[in-house]
Structure 1
Amino acid sequence: MIVIGIIACEIGFWAVLAAGLGARYLLRMRRLSSVLLLCVPLLDLLLLGLITWDLAVNGATADFAHGLGAVYLGFTVAFGHQIIGRADGWFAHRFAGGPPPFKAPKSGPAQLRYEWQQWGRMLLCAVIATAVIGLIVWLVGDTSRTEQLVGWIGRVWIVTGIWFVGWPLWLTVSGGGNARSQPERASSEGQ
């Protein structure tokens, strides 16, 4: 049931996002668009309620899906605004003559800043997922039923650590965030 809830929330996220942006750029109904886009966080609350109800009220034993749901909540809170902003930029460009959509920087200090910001979002995701799991464990009050859920805390922090080492730290230490990219350096050295 939780897997169905996660899938429904993901489908709902994209459906509400598309409806909100369609109302804004295709129908020119800005107020309706704002109302629809404000409904996106309600999906997170519904999923949190479903997970909590299943464990605390229904008496279920936590499994893989409950932990995945908690991490999904952390992800949507940490990255959801950015995803909505990028989709909005694409819609504005495609349907309203707006500027080209954002592209992640490929080199230089801008790339370094971007990678640190993205990792900061992942860090926020891990903190939120940990807090949600902790709250649910506390509400359920039965460690034998929430053991699988607690295992997700380690998983999300391992991913956060790998992301830290593999991207922002590596880029910082390797000098990938220098002011000029490699092709620019090569062309200036050849002159």
Structure 2
Amino acid sequence: MLVALIVACEVGFWVLLAGGLALRYLAKTPRLGAAVLLCEPLLELVLLVVTAVDLKNGGEPSWTHGLAALYIGYTVGYGHYTVKWLDRHAAHRLAGGPKPPGAKYGRARAVHEWKLWTRTLAGAAVALGLLQGAIWYVGDAADTGSLQSWQYAALRVLGIQAVIAATYTLWPRKPPAAERRDLADTP
């Protein structure tokens, strides 16, 4: 049941996102669109409550509880960023807004990657906290090995993201030759 709820939350996230952006830019009702977008955190709240109730009612800690914690952590770290990113792109494509800025090369890209790492850190911290809370909650009465393995997974993801950011810092990506010439010609 928990897996179905996680899938439903993910589908609900994208449905609310698409609906909110459609209301904002296609139906020209920005307030209603914003209200729909603000409903998205309710999905994670429902998932958190159902996961806690499942454990309270004697549910054996399993990979589904770990996945729920990582999903909630990801949403905390990247949810607002994703909505904002897609909102800028929708404004550009559907409402004639300016092209969203993007950091593709050099120091700007390295800074962007470290900002993503910070988001990953926030998500991992939330997931680790939820998982540790679940481990303490069920105590010695249950095998918590699966929850601990999800904690290690969160730390591995954080480490991989740090390596990616470090590579952009140590070996910055350079623009193609044509773009470098264009940049040199601009006053």
Would you say the 8 A contact 2:131–2:147 is kept in 1? yes
- Hey, what's the Cα distance between the residues in 1 that align with 2:89 and 2:81? 12
2:117 equivalent in structure 1:
119
Offset of 1:128 from its aligned partner? Answer: 0.7
2:27 equivalent in structure 1:
27
Would you say the 8 A contact 1:54–1:60 is kept in 2? yes
Deviates more, 1:147-156 or 1:8-17: 147-156
What are the equivalent positions in structure 2 for 1:174-185 lying under 5 Å apart? Answer: 174=171, 176=172, 181=175, 183=177, 184=180
What are the equivalent positions in structure 2 for 1:19-168 lying under 5 Å apart? Answer: 19-57=19-57, 59-103=58-102, 105-142=103-140, 144-165=142-163, 167-168=164-165
- Hey, what's the Cα distance between the residues in 2 that align with 1:70 and 1:10? 13
Aligned-pair Cα RMSD in Å: 2.1
Aligned length: 181
Offset of 1:9 from its aligned partner? Answer: 0.2
Would you say the 8 A contact 2:62–2:147 is kept in 1? yes
Offset of 1:33 from its aligned partner? Answer: 1.3
Q: Quickly say closer, same or farther: Cα 1:31–1:168, change in 2 above 3 A.
A: same
Q: Quickly say closer, same or farther: Cα 1:142–1:34, change in 2 above 3 A.
A: farther
Matched letter for residue 34 of structure 1: A
**Runs of 5+ unmatched residues, structure 1:** none
Would you say the 8 A contact 1:60–1:145 is kept in 2? no
Matched letter for residue 133 of structure 1: L
Q: Quickly say closer, same or farther: Cα 1:30–1:130, change in 2 above 3 A.
A: same
Would you say the 8 A contact 1:24–1:33 is kept in 2? yes
Normalised by the size of structure 1, how large is the TM-score? 0.86
Would you say the 8 A contact 1:92–1:98 is kept in 2? yes
**Runs of 5+ unmatched residues, structure 2:** none
Offset of 1:51 from its aligned partner? Answer: 1.0
- Hey, what's the Cα distance between the residues in 2 that align with 1:137 and 1:14? 31
